Amino acid sequence: MENFNFPKLLAALTLVICMSSGLSGQDIVLPSPRKTGGKPLMQALNERSTTRDFTKDELSLQQISGLLWAGFGINRPDIRKRTAPSAVNWQEIDIYVSMASGLYIYDAESNLLRQVHDRDIRSACGTQGFVAEAPLNLVYVADLTKCGKKEGDKVNDSDLFMPYADCAFIGQNIYLFCASENLGCVIRGSIPKERLAKEMNLRPMQRILLSQTVGIPSK
């Protein structure tokens, strides 16, 4: 027993468990979203507004889970459909989450944040000062291979009409969740897209549409 190394054994076991579950060590397992409660719809609509002043406070995992589920979570698991509609049921919008701890992609099916990398790229998510300081930026990315395109195809403006419409529904869901939970948000088109696409390691058929900053309002 002299050579028994408990930390090494624990690390090996964790690796085996992660590999068998498809999880990587830096993925974030979200708590189940709460699907009841919140403010009545008419009150949330009455309070929906844009915020551009945020504290530096982090959101809790419960808030992030609810936010993402409201945005584009699965609300009918038997038919894999979502809280926002999408043209032809393409479900082509991926929500990337940029936080101080790195960049993640929302995996709605597993209720996980899958880590893309561990760099803080919030400053690349927008051209306005508050973007780099707020705790969380959502980046809406259309995966055009889910809309019938192949890698290498030419992309016309008209190929983005439906993805932009689909994205707007998600953005409004996020606005309403924020109103309901006393969070603040702003949807933004002012994005340095070329720089951000590089920072996110996107493929050519993945197109950044809009971004949405979310945080605790400072007033």
Ligand X SMILES: Cc1cc2nc3c(=O)[nH]c(=O)nc-3n(C[C@H](O)[C@H](O)[C@H](O)COP(=O)(O)O)c2cc1C
Nearer Cβ to ligand X (121/176): 176
The minimum distance between CB 28 and ligand X, in angstroms, equals 27
Minimal distance, residue 190 CB to ligand X, in Å: 3
CB of 96 or CB of 115, closer to ligand X: 96
Q: Which is nearer to ligand X, 60 or 182 (CB)?
A: 182
Q: Would residue 11 be called left, alpha or beta, if left means φ above 0 and alpha means ψ between -120 and 50 degrees?
A: alpha
Q: Could you list the residues that contact ligand X (CB under 6 A)?
A: 49-50, 52, 128, 186-190
d(CA 137, CA 131): 7
Nearer to ligand X, 90 or 169 (CB): 169
Residues in Cβ contact with 38 at an 8 Å cutoff, skipping those fewer than 6 apart: 44, 177, 180, 181
Q: Report the sign of the C-alpha dihedral through residues 88, 111, 116, 211, in that order.
A: positive
CB of 17 to ligand X, least distance (A): 42
**Partners of 215 in the β-ladder:** 184
Region for 185 from its dihedrals, namely left if φ exceeds 0, alpha if ψ lies in -120 to 50, beta otherwise: beta
Distance CA 30, CA 142 (A): 23
Residue 39 or 52 having the CB closest to ligand X: 52
Question: Shortest Cβ distance from residue 66 to ligand X (Å)?
Answer: 21
Shortest spacing between CB 182 and ligand X, in angstroms = 15
Q: How far is the CB of 129 from ligand X (least distance, A)?
A: 11
Could you tell me where the DSSP H helices lie in the chain?
Answer: 6-21, 41-47, 61-72, 130-133, 161-181, 193-199
In the bound state with ligand X, the residue whose beta carbon lies nearer, of 127 and 201, is 127
CA distances from 51 to 58, 120, 212 (A): 16, 22, 11
